[in-house]
Structures are given as structure tokens and as C-alpha cells.
Amino acid sequence: MSEISKQDIQTLVKLQEAESEIVRLTKVLDKVEKEKQKIGLQIKAFETALEKNKQELLASENGCRGIEAEIQLIDDRIIKSNEKLRMVKTNKEYQLLLREVDDNKKRKDMLETELIESMEQKEKLALLVEERETEFQLLNDKIKAEQSEIDKKTSDDKELLNEYLEQQAEIGKNLSPSLMTRFAKISKMNNGLAVTTVKNEVCMGCFMNIPPQMYIDVQRGKSLISCPQCSRILYFENS
């Protein structure tokens, strides 16, 4: 217990008022920031899924082009083989060319079936990408509007927080460095509440009883008294 003036106690109370608002506003802004990060992750996840769909569509388009190119190559081979058929002189050469033409036609038929299936898959993917892009744009616009509204609402809180921080610093100039250090330490220990009232021998910070003599000393307001349970600085407020 150390000697202290009533003016110091009043200053500590004012300091606590600023501290309480700083803690409250900081929590509000932290919550908002976490919400913004959550929203950001949602849009990022959607964007990643959309990019995956686009890559699948690109692969499907490349696959279709590859099949079309092979079909064209086989058509060229068939044409060349048919031209050679008119020029062969032996039955053996003729049969070999016929087999080559037949094999190429079978391969072409298989590729054309594959191309139809690939084209159908490509169309499905193209439709999916189109739908997802529309959804993404709507979601992105919605999120931007929400974030803009959040920023608008928190702008006043940020400004108010800065005002309380400045106010706290100004109030602190009227207290000794040791008392400010003690205040900061107790505040950190008790989630921002370093100074609290005492009523009917009860600390209003932890709601535990304090000794009767200590309650009397707090009422006198001539000493710096801390709650024996929570270490908060106690003061008496006349009703």
C-alpha cells in the first residue's frame, strides 16, 4: 500500500475509461479483420476451383485439336494409299496397301467416336466454366460490397480508437512512470481492466470480497490499494 492523491486516483479512473474503450474497439476491429480474412479465403477458394475448371477445359480443347489433327493425318494417308493402289503392279503390294487403307479407316472411325465423346465433354466443361464465371462475378461483387460496407462501418471505430490512444497517452503524462507501468501490467493481466470500483466490500472486477479494513481504506482514497484476489487497483465511487 503506497500513498496516493485523490487526483491520481481520478486520473487512473480516466485512464481506465480510455483503456476500456481501447480494448473494446480493438476487439471489434480484430473481429472485423478476421471476418474479412474469412471472406477473402472464400473468394480465393472459389477462384482456385474456377481456375481448375478452366485448365480442364483447356486440356479438353487441346485434346480435341489433337484428335482432329490425327484424323486429318490419317485422311492424308488414306488418300496417298488410294493413289498408290492405282500404280501397284503386284498382287502382294495391292493387298498390303488395301490392308493399310483398312487399318487407317478403322483407326479413323475409332478417333471420330473418341472425338464426339471429347467434344461432348468439352461442351459440358465450357458450360460449367461459363456458369462458374457468372457465379464468381456475382460472388465477387457481393463480397466487395460487403467489404466496402465493413470498411465504412469500421472507419469511425478506427478513428475513435486513435482518439482514445491519444487521450490515454495524454492522461498518462499526469501519472508517474512507475504508476503507468503498474497500470499497464495489471491491465495486461486482466484483459484491459486495471482499475475498478469496490461496492459493499466487493471488488467489481472479480466480484470477490475484500477485508473490511481494506474497504475503509479504499473509501478514504489516500492509498493505492489493489484487490488481493485479482490485483486490480481499487477505488470507491460515491453514489
Helices (H), the chain: 6-85, 91-172, 177-189, 212-220
Task: Fill in the amino acid letter for 32.
Answer: V
Residue 81 cell numbers, joined:
494409299
pLDDT tens digits in sequence order for the chain, 239 residues long: 567 788 889 999 999 999 999 999 999 999 888 888 888 888 899 999 999 999 999 999 999 999 999 999 999 999 999 888 888 888 888 899 899 999 999 999 999 999 999 999 999 999 999 999 999 999 889 888 888 888 887 888 999 999 999 999 999 999 999 999 999 999 999 999 999 999 999 999 999 999 999 999 999 988 899 999 999 999 998 76
Give the pLDDT of residue 142. 87
E strand or H helix at 196: strand 195-199
- For the sheet containing 195-199, what is the strand order? 202-203, 195-199, 233-235
Neighbouring-strand partners of residue 52 = none
Identify whether the C-beta of residue 222 lies closer than 8 Å to the C-beta of residue 183.
no
Give the pLDDT of residue 45. 92
Secondary structure class of 114 (helix, strand, coil): helix
Calpha distance 25→154 (Å, rounded): 9
pTM of the entire predicted model: 0.66
Calpha distance 235→17 (Å, rounded): 13
Calpha distance 72→66 (Å, rounded): 10
Give the pLDDT of residue 148. 84
Question: Domain 32-155, what fold?
Answer: Helix Hairpins (1.10.287)
Q: Helices 6-85 and 177-189, interaxial angle, to 10°?
A: 50
What value does the CA radius of gyration of the chain take, rounded to a whole number of Å?
40
